[in-house]
């Protein structure tokens, strides 16, 4: 399991740094703490509207927390970005994930 503490200190020192927040969120997710990662992923997505990865991870975290209705718009936004940015593998994964919502 990953230790999110180094990233926590970085985020506390530079709260507006979205790369530190994203790294902290990834660490929290890999540590099995998805609810704690949500805030950081939301801030990353808000700061960079064309950044696909925080939206994917946010959607997946919400699905894992049983909050599918909240996850769907994030996953749909990630899919739109994946298509727009020609990221074929993430687009395929997102289509499959969204198909499970039907």
pLDDT in tens, 16-59: 999 999 999 999 999 999 999 999 999 999 999 999 999 999 99
d(CA 61, CA 9): 23
* Count of structural domains, the chain: 1
d(CA 93, CA 91): 5
| Domain around 18 | 5-99
The CATH number covering residue 64 comes to 1.25.40.10
For the segment 82-90, the average pLDDT, to the nearest whole number, is: 97
Q: Tell me, what's the pLDDT at 102?
A: 77
The model's pTM is: 0.92
Distances from the Cα of 82 to the Cαs of 50, 58, 72, 78, in angstroms? Answer: 10, 15, 15, 6
* CA 6, chain centre distance (Å): 19
């Amino acid at each position: 399991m990953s230790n999110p503490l180094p990233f926590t200190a970085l985020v506390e020192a530079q709260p507006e740094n979205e790369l530190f927040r994203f790294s902290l969120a990834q660490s929290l997710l890999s540590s099995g703490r998805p609810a704690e990662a949500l805030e950081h992923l939301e801030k990353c997505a808000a700061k960079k509207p064309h950044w696909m990865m925080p939206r994917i991870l946010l959607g997946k975290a919400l699905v894992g927390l049983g909050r599918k209705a909240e996850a769907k718009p994030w996953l749909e936004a990630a899919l739109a970005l994946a298509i727009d940015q020609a990221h074929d593998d993430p687009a395929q994964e997102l289509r499959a994930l969204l198909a499970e919502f039907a």
